[in-house]
Amino acid sequence: MKKYNLILIFVIFFAMLSTACKGNDPASPSPSVTDPVFKASSDSLKFTGSGGYDTLTIIMNGSKWAVSSNQSWCSVSEATSSKSSDKLIVTATENTTGSIRTATLTLVMDLKTIVTVQIKQEIKQIYPNYSNPVTVDVTGMSNNAKPLAAKIFLGWNLGNSLECTGSETAWGNPVATQTLINSIKAAGFNAVRIPCAWDSYIEDVSTCKLKASWLARVKEVVDYCYKNDMYVILNIHWDGGWLENNPTYAKQIAVNAKQKALWEQIAVYFRNYDEHLLFAGTNEVHVDYNAPTAENITVQQSYNQTFVNAVRSTGGKNAYRNLIVQSYNTNIGYAISYLKIPTDIATSRLMVEVHYYDPWDFCGDTSGNSISLWGTNYAQYGPISTWGQESYVQSQFQSLKTNFVDKGYPVILGEYGAIRRSSLSGTTLTNHLASRAYYYQYVTEQAKKNGIVPFYWDNGNTGNNGFGLFNRNDGSTFDSQALTSLITGATNGTYPY
């Protein structure tokens, strides 16, 4: 037994000795591991709207890299390379999309190490940039959209005057005067909407530069209102149709370029005016009177966004100015269904504009299908339209309140009215004028109760089928019945803010 124990002791001893010897052996060398090196000389590139090329230096310690672009307008000089240091040429085509665009280059080394480069391209400038930005200035601009809207008692349109193409008097009205605006204020209005043309007052079509004389004339009229402590809405109106009749992809780039150039100039010229001055980007933009397509809506709303961007880019008080954007064709139904509020760097400084001439057979139709009476109480005197009566007014205006006013966007009823059918006679004329006065009072009151700011459409025509309230030559009141009904409606209506 002792013999076996001795053998066991020797086995254990030699095992321990062998292990100890191995522990004293020099360490075996480990295989070397090289960290991956893969980088581009920049993680971003920026191109002008005209396009062009730029270069990236690509460095790697792998065997191969590959690159791809996610946008066809941004291309690269080679798809792959096995060089440890190589030049990659990046090319951007001309940007005629009308908006800033981006692309991403994705580079991959040996199918596993990834590097990305961000590409940005500005819009191609068709016209010079007129924004001439200055430091933002909040002086005199303390009220945002709702409290400012609440200050407007009742508005009036200087229609068929400054929006005439080529001449202020081209459509039969005399030039606007201080006397006229004084009369408007004395009658009870405290705001004036000035429809305005600009295209026919461009002195250089290649640069879209406006005539200084026209800017000065518009300023004169704005100042007539300012002297009466009135609020003013200045817009781009029909203007020959270049803006109003072209919400199509085919026209989008050219129209947005002109929209930008004109509004930059207008905004800079009036930049020092306080919050009494509001800008409205367009008027009744539409192709026809059919329902808009997705293309029509997309393009029309791009005109709104271009307007907001252009005004804000000029700085000064324009950084805080309350701006007005329009629904497609300023139609209430289209506003509810389609209008998206533009992005704005200012907070709570946007309003929405619609117009109201419903029912048309009463308000504007001069064909054999016209109707001279409105309101359920006037049906006893003759036919009224089968739609567009009191309940319709309420439902339309309540929809605007729910969809816009309650969400922080006051609505400007930029135009409304019904023609005066002076060719009627006797009791037919008497009943027509009474129902028309009732229409004015009712629409005005309901508008204000729903947070909608009313601006009566006056085209200066005091003859048959006209909207005129005043004699434009001397400012005297022409239609006291209609005027009284408007003032009464505005007095009875109280804004819900």
Smallest Cα–Cα separation from 183: which of 481, 455, 471? 471
Q: Which residue has the tokens 């009308």?
A: 98
pLDDT (mean) for 308-329: 98
Q: Is 295 a catalytic residue?
A: no
For the chain, which domains are there? 38-121 (2.60.40.10), 145-492 (3.20.20.80)
Catalytic residue among 163, 264, 415, 445: 415
- pLDDT per position as a tens digit, 98-153: 678 999 999 999 999 999 999 999 988 899 999 999 999 999 999 999 999 999 99
Strand stretches in 428-496, DSSP E = 452-456
DSSP string, 142-154: ---HHHHHTT---
Distances in Å between the alpha carbon of 227 and those of 182, 214, 266, 351, 444? 9, 20, 20, 25, 26
Smallest Cα–Cα separation from 322: which of 286, 361, 352? 352
Contact by Cβ (8 Å): 464, 422? yes
CA distance 346 to 328: 23
Q: What is the pLDDT of residue 266?
A: 99
CA distance 63 to 79: 15
Catalytic residue among 168, 264, 284, 353: 284
Q: Which residue has the tokens 């429809």?
A: 195
Contact by Cβ (8 Å): 163, 290? no
Of 28-32, 157-161, 241-245, 395-399, minimum mean pLDDT range = 28-32
Question: If pLDDT is split at 50, 70 and 90, which confidence band does 33 have?
Answer: low
Q: What is the pLDDT of residue 15?
A: 43
- Pairing relationship of beta strands 65-69 and 101-109 according to DSSP bridges: antiparallel
pLDDT (mean) for 66-94: 96
Is pLDDT above 60 for 400? yes
Strand order in the sheet with 85-92: 38-40, 52-60, 85-92, 74-76
Element (H, E) at 482: helix 480-492
Q: Is 353 a catalytic residue?
A: no
Count, residues in the chain: 497
pTM: 0.84
pLDDT (mean) for 282-295: 97
